[in-house]
Structure 1
């Protein structure tokens, strides 16, 4: 539309120049004749016919000049309208250009955000894959350790219990091994779909970790993913596990009673904050430890 308006304006300018040229020609003739010539013709009675023709010529000249002036006015009006239309079109084009620039900037920003999000997702995906691998390795290492301990326990003297299924009868009666806040529960899904086989209790660094029941320490060492770990055999196939400790106070073979301090809370094994990981196992299989405590939370 802008090009069309510009073409019309050029055409109007050309027409205006033509009209101005036509108007200038009779004007130059009138200048040569002089403004008093019609009056002289009327006063000169030499040739009435010639005088009439000359007066008619002047009348025609006047009418033609007036028409040309009107045409020039019309062209000037057209030019004014076209200038206004061109200015309006120019403003519209500027606004459109600004809008397009804004949209382009938004699209560019959105594309950059999407790129950053993809990079983040890829990094998160890799991190989740690594975390899943770590958790599976940790879980596999613990399962292997428990199997080895069970085989070893089968070859040694059984830990004496007060009565058959003594530990099982304590269901709902035990005290929590540490004071703190429950931050992960048995069966809760971890990263990568791996579930918790025990509970995680956030506690103060160095606070005491106590045995939940009497038994014999069958493991007291470092285990990948769980850090410093203590495992107690309570007889009848029951084991309790205490991980992420800062220090271990009991050695393998030592006997403990309920409430004995066996370790202190720490962040070993890759923890970002101090906590105790606690499990109860029966026949090597993890069970929900919360079912053994008097209260739902430590």
Structure 2
């Protein structure tokens, strides 16, 4: 079993896990299983296409695993901080309790058994002490459990941080292997051949994404009809092309006051971007101020625009199966500081992917097509 998968399984059953930690634990368990399954499929892959599919699953499993591990470690760090602060706030109470328990645990001297009010007072005092003792013992047990949990949480974080570094190295190696497998792949069907001169003219003559999208049909030579599976019945249920968090909704202004009809996802550095469904690559390359852009056509009069990539794989005119890698996000992996901070569940998501959906000549809210738990 891979070190990351093993660490995820250990993290999936954290010490004295509070209810809030159950969700990261479930995600860690699922990611560990996906990583092991992807490893088996990679070993069985023979063709370049099989290797691309297996490596895509491997990278996705690593990304999910690293995200789950960060969430789990963040929960552990929050729990440790909570317990440490509680124990620090009870220092005086703990000292007093330890003093009482120490005196109770010692050998009683005859003089201690005497009471100013005689045998009756001694009996009453004994009864009071007997009623208090269970509470003192219970409090001592609770404090002992808290101290043990703090110690075990710290050990968990130390060992998991080392495994997290190994996981970052593993996903980097998988991404490199994926890039090579994509370069070796030759069996993808092509729907048309791009006319590079017409593409350059179209780019230079348009100032908006809308104008560019409306002219895409003019840059294709020798186009043939290719029947792709219909997706109208999947409207609203498509997976997002990248693992990330919804940062901005359609027509929501950014910090500069600019509102666009697409959504913006915050992603981890070098996150893998894949096709949400089978589609033709209508365009792949730099465009206006959007950076590297890939425009997919899953069916006639429907375009998925993905902008802000750092590396693109798909070539204009290719027909890609669902789940095929089309690029990587930018940024550098956080290899020098893999441990998450206690604050902020969005830590580590420094890149942004812009997604626009166009039906015919007009943009529509992408969340009418894509499923997200932040709808």
TM-score range, shorter chain: 0.3 to 0.5
TM-score in terms of structure 1 length: 0.46
TM-score in terms of structure 2 length: 0.37
